[in-house]
Chains A and B, each alone.
Chain A
Amino acid sequence: MVSAVSAAFEKAAAEQRAALIGYLPAGLPSVDGAIEAAIAIAEAGADIIEIGLPYSDPLMDGPVIQEAVHRALTGGTRVADVLETVRAVAGAGIPTLIMTYWNPVEQHGVGRFARELADAGGSGLITPDLTPEEAGPWLAAAASYDLDPVFLVAPSSSDERIGLITAACRGFVYAASLMGTTGARESVGSEAEGLVRRVRAHTSLPVAVGLGVRDGKQAAAVAAFADGVIVGSALVQRLLAADSPAGGLAGVRALASELASGVRAGR
């Protein structure tokens, strides 16, 4: 079966544009508040939502997402809350994945996690610290529950590794635009376009670019060469900076709208 995420990429491609993917951690500013924010981002034009699973040691994340997950964990967010967040967002008809470091999945039980994710209506997992070589149990569970395993490629990835990684991905391939952690940047790395080109030599899956995109202009620039534009820290920053839940919602809605215009102006 074609996953909701794959269908979203197909729809965007049919409209001659890149898809917009928004990231938010569960539990920020609260479990319900994050659900509202995710739905607001989708309503403003995002095609796909990534729900971050807050983790104590987020070693691929920059200061903004570190602060966000710290607040979410301090607020008591549990794995069960993340799955409920997925249920609510996916239940609103929005293609939804979880982005998570690996240990929480392993402790929950890989098979159990996959079953509960599928039951909640989630499409798959993005795993920033798990590569296909170490993903045997997860790939088996993903196949059993018809979930999308999404792995990352980096500018430093060899062609051999890109082949290995793209062969294990389903739904899309996550291309890290630069060598670094998450966080909005002045410009998106020039390495991104070359990486996308190298990935396309190995797969017909959509290629989405993440890390560093912060505004509509950058989204348009990335949309010119990628199938998807992933935005995390810039959205999260709007929630962190807001002095009220309503202010946070307005902030992410405005940015998502700008980004959605960006991906439509890219080609």
Chain B
Amino acid sequence: MTAGAPVPGGAVPGGAVPDAAGYFGSYGGRLAPEALMAALEELTAAYAEAKADPAFQAELSALLTGYAGRPTLLTEVPRFAAQAGGCRVFLKREDMAHTGSHKINNVLGQALLTKRLGKRRVIAETGAGQHGVATATAAALLGLDCVVYMGEEDTRRQALNVARMKMLGAEVVPVTTGSRTLKDAMNEAFRNWVSTVEYTHYCIGSVGGPHPFPMMVRDFQRIIGVEAREQIMRAAGRLPDAVVACVGGGSNAIGIFHSFIPDAGVALIGCEAGGDGRETGRNAATLTFGSAGVLHGMRTYILQDADGQTLQTHSISAGLDYPGVGPEHAWLRETGRASYRPISDSEAMHAFSVLCRTEGIIPAIESSHALAGALQLGRDLGPGGVLLVNLSGRGDKDVDIAGHWFGHLGNGSPAQSGPAQSGPSLTDSPLTGGGTAGAAW
């Protein structure tokens, strides 16, 4: 436990980073094609104006409260906590937000900004479909055209979310290039953006991509931590010992961490997708196993080979299955202000089951990685400790995968097939089943 760790010299209170070039320390920046520079500069300027404009903030605030369902609850979960060393555990209930996850916070902000830019169309990348559904939702609400890029593998595996997006009026484009999953969907969205940038805004779903996206998406997600800090002070009478969140691209994590960065006594713990572990190479734990490099317009940690080629990733959780991570996380890790740990598929599914059975809440598999981290941290803290966990999404979308994992559906092996499901992917789990690859934020 590092709850008492001091804030390192480089860590400054929220809002002071990134610098004008979009750098958080040596991570971030704008390593993007020249054809996009005009749009990125335009977006940076428009966002700065909007951020300072009370009318924009009021409009966003009204949508967040009157449409998305904010503030979301803070729920204490004592029966879950009994499994976590007897400390107190509080869940920030982003699963209760409209569309079922924190994704709505960001897309409402970006959709309003799209209108402010005078653009009529939004595009998005998605893996499992949560960000795609949120974007389609905001587009329907605000009368924007919407196209969502999704790896072909994922459109098949996540057919229900594809149907949801279509019902909301979005076009879903299956991406058949590369590994046919999230990173390729993002490549394809960038390709489309280059040729449609005059009337299109690219609504990136996490705290990644070229500047200003990591900063802007963080700002739209900060509300999670702003609310949670106030709520936990009221509920527990003090700051938590640790704030725990899952990290794929890292938008829910940065959202809840950000308000606690100046609180030196609060440990910030990110839980990455450990997949099958390091040995197999089948994981997506970018900050744990990766190295510094450039991907999707940013300098950050990525999973890559010696030639700088992006590696294939694996996680049972669609939303964490990405070979990069937001640059602010790379910086928080480097400064020591936050720490990151891999959570295996089986650990995440165990935590999923514990929350279902002790509290009657079905979490997203992504968020279950944070719950697994809380089970570990709580045992270290013991009674008297206080943990804040971001429950970033609900598990409705995961019923098929989890149902097969636990043997409630099918024959105990995943219904969906794909490169990652050719056989059982776990050797250390008492449960039957395997993983599912692909998908995303």
Chain A residues packing against B (C-beta within 8 Å): 55-63, 66, 70, 73, 78-79, 102-108, 128-131, 133-134, 151-158, 161, 165, 176, 178-181
Contacts and interface: CB of A to CB of B under 8 A. Distances in A.
A128 to B, nearest CB: 6
A69 to B, nearest CB: 10
B307 A179 contact: no
Given A56-B178, A57-B296, A78 B30 contact: no
Contacts of B293: 103, 106-107
A55 B307 CA distance: 9
Contact of B34 (A70, A157, A178): A157
B35 interface: yes
Given A79-B307, A104-B309, A179-B194, A57 B187 contact: yes
B378 interface: no
Contact of A129 (B31, B177, B178): B31
A102 B33 contact: no
A56 B32 contact: no
Given A78-B307, A181-B195, 15 more contacts: A55-B309, A57-B178, A59-B191, A62-B191, A103-B294, A103-B295, A128-B33, A130-B31, A152-B34, A154-B34, A154-B38, A161-B38, A178-B195, A180-B195, A181-B191
Contacts of B195: 178-181
B167 interface: no
Contact of B33 (A79, A107, A129): A129
B177 A66 contact: yes
Given A59-B187, A133-B21, A151 B34 contact: yes
Tell me which of B30, B31, B32, B38 has the highest count of chain A C-beta atoms within 10 A of its own C-beta: B31
A48 B32 CA distance: 26
Tell me which of B186, B296, B309 has the highest count of chain A C-beta atoms within 10 A of its own C-beta: B309
Contacts of A73: 309
Given A57-B183, A66-B177, A176 B34 contact: yes
A66 to B, nearest CB: 5
Contact of A154 (B29, B35, B308): B35
A3 B341 CA distance: 50
Contacts of B297: 129
12 contacts: A57-B310, A59-B33, A60-B194, A70-B178, A79-B307, A103-B308, A107-B304, A130-B31, A134-B30, A152-B35, A154-B35, A165-B34
Contacts of A55: 308-309
A105 B29 CA distance: 17
B190 interface: yes
Contacts of A181: 191, 194-195
Interface string B294-335: 111100001010111110000000000000000000000000
B197 interface: yes
A180 to B, nearest CB: 4
A133 B35 contact: no
A57 B324 CA distance: 12
Given A108-B308, A181-B195, A161 B190 contact: no
Contact of A107 (B30, B39, B197, B306): B306
A185 B35 CA distance: 18
A158 to B, nearest CB: 6
B45 interface: no
Contacts of B296: 57, 59
Interface string B22-51: 000000011111110111000000000000
A176 B31 CA distance: 17
B307 A104 contact: yes
A106 B293 CA distance: 7
Given A103-B308, A107-B306, A129-B31, A58 B37 contact: no
A156 B35 contact: yes
B308 A107 contact: yes
A198 to B, nearest CB: 13
B26 to A, nearest CB: 12
B306 A156 contact: no
A107 B187 contact: no
A147 B347 CA distance: 52
B34 A59 contact: no
Nearest to B32: A129
A61 B33 CA distance: 11
A103 B309 CA distance: 8
A102 B309 CA distance: 11
A252 to B, nearest CB: 24
Nearest to B189: A59
Contacts of B33: 59-60, 128-129, 152, 154
Tell me which of B34, B35, B183 has the highest count of chain A C-beta atoms within 10 A of its own C-beta: B34
Nearest to A60: B33
Q: Which 9 A-B pairs have the closest CB atoms?
A: A107-B308, A154-B35, A104-B308, A180-B195, A156-B38, A103-B308, A103-B294, A56-B309, A59-B190
A176 B187 CA distance: 19
Contacts of B35: 60, 152, 154-156, 176, 179-180
A47 to B, nearest CB: 24
B39 A106 contact: no
B118 to A, nearest CB: 16
Contacts of A153: 34
A161 B186 CA distance: 26
Contacts of A57: 178, 183-184, 187, 295-296, 310
B34 A103 contact: no
Contacts of A102: 31, 294
B186 to A, nearest CB: 8
B294 A157 contact: no
A151 B383 CA distance: 60
Contacts of A78: 307
Contacts of B39: 156
A179 B35 CA distance: 7
Contacts of A108: 307-308
A55 B187 CA distance: 12
Contact of B197 (A61, A79, A130, A179): A179
Given A62-B191, A179-B194, A158 B306 contact: no
A70 B30 CA distance: 26
Contacts of A154: 33-35, 37-38
B322 to A, nearest CB: 12
A63 B309 CA distance: 19
A143 B233 CA distance: 57
Contacts of A128: 33
